[in-house]
């Protein structure tokens, strides 16, 4: 008798065992993460598909972390950002037209300066411009929603609430957690990942209510051309993007302001002059108290540099909106609006 043991034919060997099926999202991780010579950036449609899966909760945690960190390491391309925005917009269910003229994102997640830009947005609203603010609360005692609350503007809990605020006051603030909870979940990953993610970048481009004009503030100047091209790919009619205080839409009045523009689909650039050169305004030494923002509006506090930040930021928006033809005319108009503001309307 033979000493050779014969395995039953119906039991496959380990070599014959079927390989597990690849996860549908694995191809996106593989595309961006195969290494220096084999990886590549996603095309716009690929990026939209990838972000749609992420926002739908169809991605494993390991995949999500790997994907976001690869993008963070090498930097997102405009095509990827445009695709991410398209996917996020598809989940919003926003109304077709609320007549919003100016989109104003606020996605700084660590606040180290007072948000004087909130006063610039209110100044424009008082001039009849319908302004939609949206963004992330972030951390710190003087977040954008905290300052707006102190001024008497509560966050809109829904698009219907935003529509009512816009009809009444020409301004509304939509928190990202109400706009798109899954997107808010990506922002919430920062303590786990240890770094910002693509959400911090493409959230600025979201423009949830389809405003024809958009203001953007970035923290790193290297992102200016990236956001400019992303806005162009998304068909944004007009956009003004500049390095702002803390990454917000807030001019630093001490320095010239380089503004990257999209105007009717074409890229352009202009430089606005410093407003209080040599003032050595200590942005980070101020008490982070929302009451100081309210007091500035109400005329109960004097600060030439803070006023310059408000008026100078509003001037960029006025020129973008076509309310003024030149920088000088926009600055003059913004100063007139500031002098004539209804000091008792907000924060009383």
127-145 pLDDT tens trace: 999 999 999 987 777 899 9
Tell whether 233 is covered by a domain: yes
Asked if residue 184 and residue 331 are part of one domain, the reply reads: yes
Q: How far apart, in whole angstroms, are the C-alpha atoms of residue 295 and residue 193?
A: 38
Tell whether 280 is covered by a domain: yes
Asked if residue 144 and residue 121 are part of one domain, the reply reads: yes
Asked if residue 159 and residue 279 are part of one domain, the reply reads: yes
Closest to 123 (Cα-Cα) out of 336, 320, 348: 336
Q: How far apart, in whole angstroms, are the C-alpha atoms of residue 343 and residue 341?
A: 6
Tell whether 232 is covered by a domain: yes
Asked if residue 107 and residue 84 are part of one domain, the reply reads: no
Tell whether 85 is covered by a domain: yes
Tell whether 290 is covered by a domain: yes
pLDDT for the residue 63: 96
Asked if residue 72 and residue 188 are part of one domain, the reply reads: no
CB 158 within 8 A of CB 180: no
Asked if residue 133 and residue 36 are part of one domain, the reply reads: no
Q: How far apart, in whole angstroms, are the C-alpha atoms of residue 303 and residue 287?
A: 14
CA distances from 310 to 5, 156, 196 (A): 86, 23, 28
Asked if residue 199 and residue 181 are part of one domain, the reply reads: yes
Tell whether 2 is covered by a domain: no
Asked if residue 77 and residue 113 are part of one domain, the reply reads: no
CA distances from 64 to 52, 109, 227 (A): 12, 20, 23
Show the low-confidence residues of the chain (pLDDT under 70).
1-19, 109, 279-284
Range of the domain at 228: 102-339
How many independent structural domains does the chain possess?
2
Tell whether 5 is covered by a domain: no
Which CATH number covers residue 40?
A: 1.20.970.10
Tell whether 12 is covered by a domain: no
Distance between the two ends of the chain, CA-based, in angstroms? 102
């Amino acid at each position: 008798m033979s000493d050779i043991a014969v395995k039953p034919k119906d039991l496959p060997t380990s070599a014959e065992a079927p390989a597990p099926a690849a996860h549908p999202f694995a191809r996106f991780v593989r595309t961006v993460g195969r290494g220096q010579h084999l990886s590549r950036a996603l095309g716009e449609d690929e990026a939209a598909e990838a972000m749609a899966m992420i926002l739908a909760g169809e991605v494993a945690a390991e995949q999500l972390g790997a994907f976001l960190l690869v993008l963070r390491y090498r930097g997102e391309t405009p095509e990827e950002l445009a695709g991410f925005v398209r996917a996020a917009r598809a989940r919003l269910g926003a109304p077709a037209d609320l007549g919003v003229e100016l989109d104003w994102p606020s996605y700084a997640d660590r606040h180290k300066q007072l948000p004087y830009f909130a006063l610039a947005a209110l100044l424009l609203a008082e001039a009849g411009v319908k302004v939609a603010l949206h963004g992330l609360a972030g951390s710190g005692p003087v977040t954008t929603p905290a300052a707006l609350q102190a001024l008497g503007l509560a966050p809109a809990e829904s698009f219907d609430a935003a529509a009512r605020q816009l009809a009444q006051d020409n301004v509304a603030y939509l928190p990202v957690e109400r706009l798109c909870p899954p997107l808010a979940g990506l922002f919430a990953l920062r303590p786990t990942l240890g770094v910002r993610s693509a959400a911090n970048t493409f959230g600025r481009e979201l423009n949830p209510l389809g405003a024809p004009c958009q203001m953007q503030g970035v923290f790193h100047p290297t992102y200016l051309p990236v956001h400019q091209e992303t806005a162009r790919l998304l068909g944004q009619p007009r956009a003004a993007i500049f390095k702002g205080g803390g990454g917000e839409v807030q001019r630093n009045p001490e320095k010239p302001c380089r503004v990257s523009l999209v105007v009717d689909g074409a890229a352009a650039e202009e430089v606005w002059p410093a407003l209080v050169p040599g003032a050595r305004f200590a942005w980070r030494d101020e008490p982070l108290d929302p009451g100081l923002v309210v007091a500035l509006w109400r005329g109960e506090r004097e600060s030439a540099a803070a006023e310059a930040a408000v008026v100078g930021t509003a001037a960029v928006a006025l020129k973008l909106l076509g309310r003024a033809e030149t920088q000088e005319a926009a600055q003059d108009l913004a100063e007139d609006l500031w002098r004539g503001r209804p000091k008792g309307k907000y924060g009383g």
